[in-house]
Structure 1
Amino acid sequence: MSLSLITRKFTVEEYEKMTTQGIIKPDEKVELIRGEIIKMSPMGTRHAAGIDRLIQLLYQKLGQKIILRVQNPIKLNDNSQPEPDLSLLIPRSDFYVAAYPCPQDIYLIIEVSDSTLDYDRYTKIPLYAEANIQEVWIVNLKEKCLEVYRHPLNGSYQAIQKYSINERVFMTSFPDIEFTIAEILGV
């Protein structure tokens, strides 16, 4: 006889209560994915440097056209509140003080991936597509390339492109501003 385990899924509201009541400690690096509390991998120096490089590059090229969130929560639905490495948001004067940004507030999500590449590709990318996030970039430190996911439809991205070091890319929200893959990767 096989035993089937039943897991308890959490809502974003329950997850936030656990945080405010101290059940989840402020220094715990976790995120809510499909109702499950997932412990995030520790960040290595390449990952941290990749995020820092992108912060500088994005502010240099986009400035006040965006609000740039770094590893802060976004609310995708009632059971998922991930913390992407970078979220480029539509500017608001209140800086989203009343609630976390939702999919319609997001220009672009960027995940910097080294040890988290499979998790980002096979867990987070489908989650973002289901939430109708229009564009996601994976800065793939392992393969030294940029993966661009665009045009979500029925829970998956219809346009997926890989850019190598000698190529250029633009955001669909800002097509007049180009980035070289070399400057994104810092090579």
Structure 2
Amino acid sequence: MGDKARIYEYVSYEEFEKIQNENPNKLEYDNGYIYLMTPVHPNHDRVKNKIASELIKFLGFESCDVFTSDVAVVFESNEEKYEFQPDVMVCCDDKFQGSKYKGIPKLIIEILSYATEYRDKGLKLKIYEKFNVPEYWIVDIREEQIIVYSTNTNGKYLSSNIYTKNMIVKSSLGININVNDIFSVIK
């Protein structure tokens, strides 16, 4: 993966997996194109960990698992294939093939950063919607708000709500999380 131009060349998923195995960096696959993920600000990780711990506390480990950052989810159809590493995802079935999840998570959460904001609000929203992820949260640390897309019917989110300070995020999973608690970890 030596030169930076390589990330803009089309590569097959098989080539991506080979590059991924040889490369210590975090990579995502966008239907033929590789994206090198950059390190995040500590607040990004603090918020991610706070959300994950709240989800684990609510869900326990009985029916669903909560995964963070380094677990990949693969979405594919006859025409396209994507592999992302969401900041947080909730999976309620065991559809792993090796280390990659090949099912549809019940919830995906992406925390915006300068490097990923465009993809999280654009491409990933479109892909999660298209592949029927029931609920998708976009967490904006700068604005201290959470946008929740839900009620995915036939590949379209029918509902989106913005949660800000002093509000409770009400998830379709029955989870209620206080927005103030999530952003209380920011330093």
Equivalent position of 1:157 in the other structure: 157
**What CA deviation, in whole Å up to 9, does each residue of 1:81-117 have, x standing for no partner?**
011101110143xx8254622343x110011113232
Q: In 2 relative to 1, CA 164–31 (structure 1 residues): closer, same or farther, beyond 3 Å?
A: same
The equivalent of 1:136 in structure 2 is 136
Q: CA deviation at 1:38?
A: 0.6
Identify the residue that residue 3 of structure 2 maps to in structure 1: none
Query: Which 5+ residue runs of structure 2 have no aligned equivalent?
Result: 1-7
CA RMSD of aligned residues (A): 2.2
Q: Residues of 1 paired with 2:152 and 2:54: CA distance?
A: 26
Q: Taking structure 2 as the reference length, what is the TM-score of the superposition?
A: 0.81
Amino acid at match of 1:63: G
User: Aligned equivalents of 2:36 and 2:19: distance in 1?
Assistant: 15
Residue in structure 1 matched with residue 66 of structure 2 by the alignment:
68
2:89 to 87, 90, 93: 87
Point out where structure 1 has 5 or more consecutive residues left out of the alignment. Answer: 1-6
CA distance in 1, matches of 2:103, 2:125: 13
**1:148-179 deviations in Å (ceiling 9; x for gaps):** 0123456553311111111112221x22x311
Aligned length: 172
SS, match of residue 128 in structure 1: helix
> TM-score, with normalisation over the residues of structure 1?
0.81
The percentage of counterpart residues that share the same residue type is 24
Is the Cα contact below 8 Å between 1:103 and 1:131 reproduced in 2? no
Decide whether the 8 Å contact of 2:28 with 2:35 is kept in 1. Answer: yes
